[in-house]
Amino acid sequence: MLLSAKLPSHKRNSGFTLLELLVVLVILGLLAGYVAPKYFAQIGKSEVKTARAQVIALEKALDQYRIDTGHYPSTEQGLSALNTRPANEPRWQGPYLKKAVPDDPWGKPYQYRMPGEHSEVDIYSLGRDGVAGGGDNGVDIGNW
């Protein structure tokens, strides 16, 4: 007597159907659409915070320069006077920064003006857009 094994009448294929894959892709797309804007907004906020911290550090270095020399560097001398002795400045005791004057978080040099329009000296970044004034994405960051 021979025993025959019972075979299922229809065998289910393993794997995902096209519909299941599409549902997963739609869910991932919705999640990415929700998370990505919030993530990139945080990056923008951190750049602004970094610029504010650098402006404060530059202002403190300029104050130390003024204590030593009796005046702030001229607009022509600029922020480089914090690291390099200006000509005819015998009371300079710098450098006043441990490293070179940094660029702003968007890779542009900080602006310096003496006398300033907003305070005794103005130190500022033109923001992401690099244009004076600017809106939400290009707001200027300064020591005023």
Considering only residues 38 and 137, tell me which one the structure prediction assigns the higher pLDDT. 38
Q: Which long-range contacts (CB under 8 A, 24 or more apart) does 120-124 make?
A: 120/72, 121/59, 121/62, 121/72, 123/55, 123/58, 123/59, 123/62, 123/79, 124/55
Return d(Cα 21, Cα 29) in angstroms, integer.
12
Q: What are 82-133's pLDDT values in tens digits?
A: 999 999 899 999 899 999 999 999 999 999 999 999 999 999 999 888 888 7
Quick: pLDDT tens for 15-72. 788 888 999 999 999 888 888 777 776 666 788 899 999 999 999 999 999 999 999 9
CATH code at 43-139:
3.30.700.10
Helix (H, G, I), strand (E, B) or coil at 72: coil
The pLDDT assigned to 35 comes to: 82
Q: pLDDT at position 4, please?
A: 56
Q: Please state whether the predicted TM-score (pTM) of the whole model is above 0.75.
A: no
Strands of 111-113's sheet, edge to edge?
111-113, 122-125, 141-142
For residue 103, the SS3 value is strand
Burial letters for 132-141: b for 16+ Cβ neighbours within 10 Å, e otherwise? Answer: eeeeeeebbb
